[in-house]
């Protein structure tokens, strides 16, 4: 077999999300698109802000000399400058452009960071459930993922994390607002974690994975992790907040409080290069540098969250309302999440089993579908539950 055995086994275990997405294509061909309610993929429903497209067009027209060429691997200085200024304002820390690396989305940032910090056998703690690709990113560099369960309400169990910290622990990945659960970690929990990390036998870096920080509900506040946790690296992107997931633009920022932060930033620029990214897409770096204040109409997600959660509750589901991000992660009415998702599929609904995120007995619904899909899908959710109850 020409494909490496590890990759074959990873593909086997890989994303149920993609599998459901492909199932959706098959079902649409069979039943007609209007009869399929596909809640599987987190592809943002909102188009990029008009100002972003205007800036993109203007930059293409301007076609400034050098704007399509190589630049420092970390990215154009103006893009890193814009990001650093923002981070100074929001965290109160002395971020400079040299602490920032423009990346191919959040995934590019996480891979550059993990490659720079992991020796084979080093451990990375991940609260569960989690975004499934973390496991692959960690194993890309010979790291070992150490899963730690969160509480029933998905809040962080700092005691359980502390119990897993050992001499090989290099990092903890935190993601708030969280995919899939939608929780936001409160300041008090982060302070508790900072106190634990201060006692760790060797420095433990927190990789704060932040692609959803601007998508919050009911006016919730998402604490700036870097202003609470000293040894912090931020990974984020414009994928979700500007609907630019396909353009692959994000950044990695290393807190100035990390020991040898600038050397680490240089190491990440190097790892980004040798992973084959070389640099983040040039034109999109320039767009984010010129239009930092743009935003999409994120209020639509609030409306969809309410419609979905209210409808599911009326139908008899137990719903844990997300505080942020754009997913609803709820208990399946039977413990076997695969079986329940199969039953929903019979009614034309596609959901992702919670097992794909490391929590059995749950399923994830993505709120990136149109509002009308939510409304039309609710009878199918109700029918599935009714049939189950006989």
Ligand X SMILES: Cc1ncc(COP(=O)(O)O)c(C=O)c1O
User: If 0-12 CB within 10 Å is exposed, 13-18 middle and 19+ buried, where does residue 330 land?
Assistant: buried
> How many angstroms separate the CA atoms of 69 and 193, rounded?
43
SS3 250: strand
Nearer to ligand X, 161 or 207 (CB): 207
Nearer to ligand X, 42 or 75 (CB): 42
Nearer to ligand X, 277 or 317 (CB): 277
CB of 234 to ligand X, least distance (A): 12
CB of 252 to ligand X, least distance (A): 11
What Å distances lie between residue 65 and 62, 69, 131, 248, CA to CA? Answer: 9, 9, 40, 23
Please report, as ranges, the residues that interact with ligand X according to CB under 6 A. 42, 105-107, 131, 175, 179, 209, 211, 237, 239, 245, 250
List the structure tokens of 319: 């719903």
CB of 246 to ligand X, least distance (A): 9
Nearer to ligand X, 106 or 165 (CB): 106
**Residue nearest to ligand X as judged by C-beta position:** 105
CB of 128 to ligand X, least distance (A): 13
CB of 313 to ligand X, least distance (A): 25
Q: Is the peptide bond before 3 cis (omega within 30 degrees of 0)?
A: no
Nearer to ligand X, 127 or 311 (CB): 127
E strands along the chain, which residues?
37-38, 100-103, 123-128, 144-149, 169-175, 205-209, 232-237, 250-254, 327-331, 349-350, 352-353, 362-366
What Å distances lie between residue 201 and 164, 279, 360, CA to CA? Answer: 12, 35, 33
Nearer to ligand X, 184 or 245 (CB): 245
CB of 250 to ligand X, least distance (A): 5
């Amino acid at each position: 077999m020409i494909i490496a055995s590890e990759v074959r086994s990873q593909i086997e275990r890989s994303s149920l999300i993609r599998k459901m997405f492909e199932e959706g294509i098959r079902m649409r061909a069979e039943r007609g698109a209007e009869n399929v309610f596909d809640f599987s993929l987190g592809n943002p429903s909102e188009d990029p802000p008009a100002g972003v497209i205007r800036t993109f067009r203007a930059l293409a027209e301007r076609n400034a000399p050098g704007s399509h060429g190589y630049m420092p691997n970390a990215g154009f200085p103006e893009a890193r400058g814009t990001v650093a200024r923002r981070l100074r304002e929001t965290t109160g820390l002395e971020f400079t452009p040299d602490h920032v690396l423009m990346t191919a989305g959040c995934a590019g940032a996480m891979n550059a960071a993990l490659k720079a910090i992991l020796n084979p056998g080093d451990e990375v703690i991940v609260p569960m459930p989690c975004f499934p690709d973390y496991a692959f990113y960690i194993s890309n560099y010979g790291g070992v993922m150490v899963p730690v369960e969160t509480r029933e309400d998905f809040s962080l169990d700092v005691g359980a994390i502390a119990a897993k910290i050992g001499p090989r622990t290099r990092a903890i990945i935190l993601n708030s607002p969280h995919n899939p659960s939608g929780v936001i970690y409160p300041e008090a929990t982060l302070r508790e974690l900072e106190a634990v990390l201060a006692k760790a036998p060797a420095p433990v870096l927190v990789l704060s994975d932040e692609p959803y920080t601007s998508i919050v509900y009911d006016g919730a506040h998402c604490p700036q992790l870097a202003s609470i946790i000293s040894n912090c690296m931020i990974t984020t992107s414009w994928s979700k907040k500007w609907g630019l997931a396909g353009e692959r633009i994000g950044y990695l920022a290393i807190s100035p409080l990390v020991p040898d932060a600038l050397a680490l930033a240089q190491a990440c620029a190097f790892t980004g290069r040798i992973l084959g990214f070389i640099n983040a897409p040039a034109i999109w770096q320039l767009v984010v540098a010129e239009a930092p204040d743009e935003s999409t109409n994120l209020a639509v997600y609030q409306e969809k969250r309410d419609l979905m959660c209210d409808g599911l509750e009326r139908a008899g589901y137990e719903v844990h309302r997300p505080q942020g991000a754009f997913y609803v992660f709820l208990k399946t009415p039977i413990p076997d999440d695969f079986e329940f998702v199969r039953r929903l599929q019979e009614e034309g609904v596609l959901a992702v089993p919670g097992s794909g995120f490391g929590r059995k007995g749950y399923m994830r619904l993505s709120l990136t579908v149109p509002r009308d899909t939510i409304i039309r899908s609710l009878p199918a959710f109700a029918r599935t539950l009714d049939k189950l109850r006989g």
